[in-house]
Amino acid sequence: MFWKKAPTPSEKEPPPVSAAPTASDDAALDTVASLLKAFGEHAFDTDNVTALETRAECDGWAKRITVGEGKTGEDGERKAFRRDYAGVRRFFTAQRTHEREFVGRSLGNLREAVHAFARCLTTTLGEDRAADERVGAQLGKLVGAFQSNDFESIRAEAEGIVTVVQEVMAKRSESQKRMLLELGEKISELREELHEVREKAALDQLTQLFNRSALDAHLDRVADLAFLLSSSPCILMIDVDHFKKTNDTFGHLTGDDVLRRVADMLVRNFLRREDFVARYGGEEFVVVIPDSSLHNAELRAERVRQSIEELVINSPKGQVQVTVSIGLACLSSGDTGASWLARADAALYEAKGGGRNCVRVAREAGAAVPSLVPAGGSRPPGPRSLPPASRRLA
């Protein structure tokens, strides 16, 4: 016989049993999910995909990879979960390819502008060289006429040199005007592109506030100038309370909405042009008030805390209650931008450890006191020791 007899049911091999995930498998999945979330966190707007859309897509794939997707059979019965590894590879590859092409096109535009500068200069130098050669040739004829002592020839060549020089000067003037016009247009285009790139580099994509790198540079500038100008700048470090719980309960899209609404409320409360509002990272924000008394800074901190507490944020899973904790520090003698921020951070730690939804003021390095702000305006007396901020409360 040329075929093999089909095995009877009793002879069939049992279906393979999938091995239980090991600790190394879990670690690998967590690593992939973390990479996807980090990729989404640092996404940027391209010509057809926003950074927010990319982040949501990355968060979705991270969840599908770690939790898996359930499949339902024809009988409606729930079957085993599966992880779409091929799908996440396709998504990641396509997204990176698109971003690379977008960046390549953007750099190409800048390169073209630089090449335009080079073409203008090369053309002008070439025209100048040809004109100089023409003037030189005419001068040579004039010298020859002088050597011949022929008056009529000298007169004719002298008139010729005058005519050539006039023509060259007129043409050079037109060429320079044209070159200046072209260069002016290219400079305007470059200035707009570079301004847009600089703004995007300094802004946080989600909240449109200044980002961490812009904040670090601003703090150093304010600290350096404060002592020269005898000003008294203050800094607020603001943390959204229980933000991880908000994300877990209402989802990351609602969490992003909370951050945007808090950012908007900060901008509304710090409208002065000199006030500087930035997203420090995650759910933390920083406000730099360039010149203010401690009393006024406390009042403004308390006002923004109350405004955020009154926010009404609706989500598909219900209303979200948002509160913030605030650490306040005024610049002290000898502070750098980093040490100034660290003291505000220590005051924030005190606020979170003291029950959250409150303001704490850093008096000096290693000390903080409760906020002012009951309606009567009296401040609880005396500083108290601040525990070392070895870790941040969630």
How far apart, in whole angstroms, are the C-alpha atoms of residue 239 and residue 392? 11
Residue 193 has a CB neighbour count (10 Å cut-off) of 14
393: nearest Cα among 344, 354, 338: 354
Q: Where are the alpha helices (DSSP H) in the chain?
A: 23-41, 51-67, 85-148, 151-202, 212-229, 243-250, 252-269, 294-309, 337-353
Go through 287-324 and write b for each residue having 16 or more CB atoms within 10 A of its CB, e for each that does not: bbbbebebeebbbbbbebbeebeebebebeeeebebbb
**Residue 269, CB-side half-sphere exposure with 13 Å CA sphere:** 23
Residue 152's CB is within 10 A of a number of other CB atoms, namely 8
Q: Is 15 left (phi over 0), alpha (psi -120 to 50) or beta?
A: beta
Burial classification of residue 240, based on how many CB atoms lie within 10 Å of its CB (0-12 exposed, 13-18 middle, 19 or more buried):
buried
Asked if residue 236 lies in contact with residue 289, where contact means CB atoms within 8 angstroms, the answer is: yes
Give first-to-last CA distance, the chain, whole Å: 73
Total residue length of the chain: 394
φ, ψ at 203 (rounded to 5°): -110, 145
C-alpha 84, offset from chain centre:
31
Whether 283 is a known active-site residue: answer: yes
* 157, 283, 298, 302: the active-site residue: 283
Q: Are strands 284-289 and 276-281 parallel, antiparallel or unpaired?
A: antiparallel
Main-chain phi, psi angles of 2, to 5 degrees: -105, 15
| Residue reference for tokens 């800094």 | 235
Structure tokens at 243: 């933000």
Spatial separation of the C-alpha atoms in residues 142 and 380, rounded to whole Å: 98
User: Which residues are identified as catalytic?
Assistant: 283
